[in-house]
Amino acid sequence: MRLEDEPASEPRLVALATAVPRHFLAQEAVAEAASAIFAEAGGGFQHLAPVYRHAEIRQRRSCVPLEWFARPHGLAERNRLFLDHAVALLAEAATAALDQAGLAASDIDMLVTVSSTGIATPALDARLMARLPFRADVQRLPVFGLGCAGGVLGLARAAALARAAPGSRVLLLAVELCSLTFRRDDRRPTNIVATALFGDGAAAAIVTCRDDDPPGVPLGPWGEHTWPGSIDVMGWELDDEGFQVVFSREIPALVRQCLRPAVDAFLARHAVPWAGLDGFLCHPGGAKVLDALADCLELRPADLRHARAVLRDHGNMSSVTVLFVLRAAMDEARTGRGPGIGGRCLMTALGPGFTAGMLMLDLGR
**Mean pLDDT, to the nearest integer, of 23-27?**
95
Query: 146-175 pLDDT, tens per residue?
Result: 999 999 999 999 999 999 999 999 999 999
pTM of the full predicted structure? 0.93
For residue 105, what pLDDT is reported? 98
- Mark whether 88 and 233 lie in a shared domain: no
Residue 3 lies in a domain: no
Q: Which amino acid makes up residue 247?
A: F
Q: Is the pLDDT of residue 6 over 50?
A: no
Q: Which of 132, 48, 33, 124 is nearest to 91 (CA)?
A: 132
Does 46 score more than 70 pLDDT? no
Which residues on neighbouring strands pair with residue 111, listed in sequence order?
Answer: 140, 171
**Residues taking part in catalysis:** 148
**Does the structure show a pLDDT above 80 at 251?**
yes
Give me the amino acid identity at 361.
Answer: L
Model confidence at 320: pLDDT above 60? yes
Helix orientation angle between 150-164 and 321-335, rounded to the nearest 10 degrees: 70
pLDDT of 140 higher than 70: yes
pLDDT score at 91? 98
Q: Are residues 204 and 131 in the same domain?
A: yes
Domain presence at residue 267? yes
Q: What is the DSSP string of 34-90?
A: HHHHHHHTTS--GGGTTHHHHT---EEEESS-GGGGGS---HHHHHHHHHHHHHHHH
Residues 242 and 112 both lie in one domain: no
% of the chain exceeding 70 in pLDDT:
93
My answer on whether 227 and 348 are in the same domain is yes
Residues 303 and 257 occupy one common structural domain: yes
> Omega of the bond prior to 65 within 30 degrees of 0, cis?
no
Domain-embedded: residue 2: no
Same domain assignment for residues 130 and 241: no
- Pair 51, 81 in one domain: yes
Are 248 and 196 found together in one domain?
Answer: no
Residue 5 lies in a domain: no
* 6 lies in some domain: no
Same domain, 191 and 248: no
- Domain boundary, last residue among 174, 208, 242: 208
> Mean pLDDT over residues 195-209, rounded?
95
Q: CATH no. for residue 324?
A: 3.40.47.10
Closest CA to 148 of 130, 174, 173, 129: 174
Distance CA 138, CA 330 (A): 28
Q: Which of 167-171, 236-240, 317-321 has the lowest mean pLDDT?
A: 236-240
pLDDT, average across residues 176-182: 94
Q: Are residues 234 and 323 in the same domain?
A: yes
Do 195 and 302 reside in the same domain of the chain? no
**What was the pLDDT predicted at 297?**
93
Contact, 334 vs 363, CB < 8 A?
no
Backbone φ and ψ for 267, nearest 5 degrees, come out as -65, -40
pLDDT, residue 183, reads 85
Q: How far apart are the first and last CA of the chain?
A: 11
pLDDT of residue 40: 56
Mean pLDDT calculated for residue range 340-347? 80
- Tell me how many domains the chain contains: 2
The arithmetic mean of pLDDT across residues 97-109, rounded, is 97
* Residue percentage of the chain with pLDDT more than 90: 69
User: Which structural domain range is residue 228 located in?
Assistant: 217-362
State whether 54 and 96 are in the same domain. yes
**Which of 170, 187, 208 is at the close of a domain?**
208
| pLDDT over threshold 50, residue 201 | yes
Of the residues 183, 208, 233, the one at which a domain ends:
208
Considering the domain boundaries, does residue 253 fall inside one?
Answer: yes
